[in-house]
Amino acid sequence: MEIDPLIFRLSIFILSIFVGYYVVWSVTPSLHTPLMSVTNAISSVIIVGAIIAGLSGNSDNVFNTSSIFGFLAIALAAINIFGGFLVTQRMLAMYKKKKKGK
Partner 1 sequence: MISANLSAIFYLASGVLFILALRGLSSPETSRQGNLFGILGMIIAITVTFLSTGNFSTGFIFVLIFILAGGSIGAFIAYRIPMTAMPELVAGFHSLVGLAAVFVAISAFLNPEAFNLGTPGNIKLGSLIEMSIGAAVGAITFSGSVIAFLKLQGIMSGSPITFKGQHPLNAIILMSIVVLIYLLCSTQSSNLFWILLAVSFLIGFLLIIPIGGADMPVVISMLNSYSGWAAAGIGFTLENTALIITGALVGSSGAILSYIMCKGMNRSFFNVILGGFGATEDATSNSTKEQRPVKSGNADDAAFLMKNASSVIIVPGYGMAVAQAQHALREMVDTLKKNDIKVSYAIHPVAGRMPGHMNVLLAEANVPYDEVFELEEINNDFANADVAFVIGANDVTNPVAKTDPQSPIYGMPVLDVEKCKSVLFVKRSLSPGYAGIDNDLFYKENTLMLFADAKKMTEDITKNL
Using the rule CB under 8 A, is 101 a contact of partner 1? no
Q: How far is the CB of 98 from partner 1 (least distance, A)?
A: 4
CB-based contact 7:37 (threshold 8 Å): no
State which of positions 15-34 bind partner 1 (CB under 8 A): 16-17, 19-21, 23-34
Using the rule CB under 8 A, is 3 a contact of partner 1? no
State which of positions 38-57 bind partner 1 (CB under 8 A): 38-57
Q: How far is the CB of 8 from partner 1 (least distance, A)?
A: 9
In whole angstroms, what is the distance from residue 10 CA to residue 42 CA? Answer: 20
Closest CA to 36 of 72, 94, 83: 83
Helix (H) or strand (E) holding 39: helix 32-43
